[in-house]
Structure 1
């Protein structure tokens, strides 16, 4: 497993994404932004939460006897213990994060996706498979459409986004709603998981929604194009191309979105030995 990665901050006060890598695993998290006018029950904030969760996860998935769901469940519980005494974790307004991770396990590549991060798998002759959990788009549909109405950056737009987040908080980690990593370890049971024969996987990409939008929001690239760009130029080039598109549409007229630019993180994974090792070169 050969991994390259890049992460850049969007228009917010801090980058709420994080990426963690080990010799056999990759974890990418996207913290859910909390509008400044809404309450928050955690004094540490979302960037702290995603760092703690990511660090715990990358350590736990190194044990092949632990399933990815079990690792996520244990990681959420462990982070709860880090700030339960100083924060109110029993309310809806707590830090939360999407999750996508992969782990080599023998001849298999295990994966887990929770909420709208994207995993892209290039399976060679079997084509490209994308794994994403879109349940968040199936709730509060009217408010979501209103929040996507531009122009971005105006007080009116910010108010609509705050209204959407308020409603979404009441639907997080509840039946009929959607699921994210927050304070309820049971959210891990709702994640999309699976395994692919490692020999079938040529390359993979783990993306936050700020890095996948050239395909699934803007429609200017295909998933094949995105993988080709990552292979040829790397994750930083993908994010740079994304920023160029966002700057060309700063108020969301062509591509409606919640903010002009989002935190963007991409991890690109190549499977197999480098050519020099495979050929026996020294």
Structure 2
């Protein structure tokens, strides 16, 4: 597995995304922002939460006998144990995060997606497959429409976003609502999971919604063009181009959104490269030597 990655902070006071990589796994998390005027039951905050959860996950998925759902369930419990003595974990107002992760396991690739981060798989002749969980867009629809009304960055807009988050918190990790990684381990059972032959996968991208918006929010690129950009120029170039687009619409008139720029994280993955090289008869001793 070959991985390149980039992560940049958006309009908030800290980057609430995180990315973790091992020789066989990638984990990307997007922490849910909490408006300053709303209560928070955790004294540590969202950046701390995503770092702890990501660290647990990348360690757990190294064990191929553990399914990705089991790893997520266990990681949530472990992070709960880190701060249940100091924080009110039974409240709605606790840190939460989307999850997208992949694991190379022998000749297959396992994946898990929880909430609205995106996994993009290039399956060659079978085309490009995107995997995400948009249930959050199906709840609190009236409040969401109001929160997307501009102009972005005004006190009135911020109040509408807070009203949306207040309603979403009540529907979070509830039947009929939507699911994210927070304090309830049962969220792992709601994740979208799958396994695919590595031979089918040419490349993959794991994206928080701040890094996927050139395609799914702005319509400025296709998924194929996004993968081409990642392949040719890398994740940092994707995020830089996203920031350029955002600045052309500073108040959300063209592309309504909750904030001018969101935290953006992208991991670009090539899998099974050593196996592919061996299949062609390539040997390490055949590699050209530097002068």
2:201 is aligned with 1:188: no
What aligned pairs does 1:19-58 form with structure 2 within 5 A after superposition? 19-58=19-58
Greater Rg over alpha carbons, structure: 2
Identify unmatched segments of 5+ residues in structure 2.
none
Shift of 1:106: 1.2
Following superposition, the deviation at residue 276 of structure 1 comes to 8.0
Distance 1:269 1:25 in 2: 10
Superposition TM-score, scaled by structure 2 size: 0.95
CA apart distance, 1:273: 2.5
Aligned partners of 2:83, 2:238: CA distance in 1, in Å? 36
Q: How far does residue 107 in structure 1 lie from its aligned partner after superposition?
A: 1.1
Q: How does 1:78-97 map to 2 (within 5 A)?
A: 78-97=78-97
Residue ranges of structure 1 left out of the alignment (5+ in a row): none
Name the residue aligned to 1:234.
Answer: 234
Counterpart-to-counterpart distance in 1, 2:98 and 2:272: 28
Q: Distance in 1 between matches of 2:23 and 2:270?
A: 12
Residue 45 of structure 1: CA displacement? Answer: 0.1
Aligned residue for 1:246, secondary structure, equals helix
State the Cα deviation string for residues 57-94 of structure 1 (Å, max 9, x = none). 00000000000000000000000000000000000000
- Indicate the SS of the match to 1:218: coil
Distance between the aligned counterparts of 2:116 and 2:213, measured in 1? 11
* Residue equivalent to 2:120: 120
Q: Count the aligned residue pairs.
A: 282
TM (norm. structure 1) is 0.98
Q: Is the 8 A contact 2:104 2:271 kept in 1?
A: no
Structure 1 segment 166-245 matched on structure 2, within 5 A: 166-245=166-245
Counterpart CA distance in 2 for 1:65 and 1:215 is 35
In the alignment, which residue of structure 1 is the partner of 2:59?
Answer: 59
Where 1:170 maps in the other structure, the secondary structure is helix
Structure 1 residues 18-42: Cα deviation after superposition (integer angstroms, max 9, x where no partner): 0000000000000000000000000
Deviation at 1:271, TM superposition (A): 1.8
User: What per-residue deviation string (whole Å, max 9, x for no partner) do you get for residues 223-264 of structure 1?
Assistant: 000000000000000000000000000100000000000000
